[in-house]
Amino acid sequence: MFAGNPAEAIQKFPANVNIAVALAWATRGLSTAMSDANLLGAALERVRVVLQAAAGQAQSAHRIRAAGSAGEFAFDIRSTPSPENPATSGLTALSVTRTLRHVIAG
């Protein structure tokens, strides 16, 4: 369906790129010479994303591959839709809840 970087994917598939944008943010690096916005902009150009559609697929799937000077890693995530909102993963609500609990607890 699509292959490119998250910046391009945002324009064409804004509801389907949250993982790709989160990965770009997580890999933006640190710099005293560049702002977070500039670092993220560079990461949005560097990260590659491929969106595929699979007829009859009941779960969403994410295959993440990364490589750099520290090494390489790969993992796959499959999640079922939220019963309350089938347009999102059931894991999303759990992740948001955990983050809010952590923030509130201090």
Instruction: For 44-78, give one letter per residue: b (16+ CB within 10 A) or e.
Output: beebebeeeeeeeeeebeeeeeeeeeeeeeeeeee
Model confidence at 33, in pLDDT bands (50, 70, 90)? confident
With a threshold of 0.75, does the pTM exceed it? no
Catalytic pick among 12, 62, 63, 65: 62
Mean pLDDT of all residues in the chain? Answer: 85
- Residue boundaries of the structural domains of the chain: 1-53, 56-106
Q: Is 102 one of the annotated active-site residues of the chain?
A: no
Percent of the chain whose predicted confidence (pLDDT) is above 90: 10
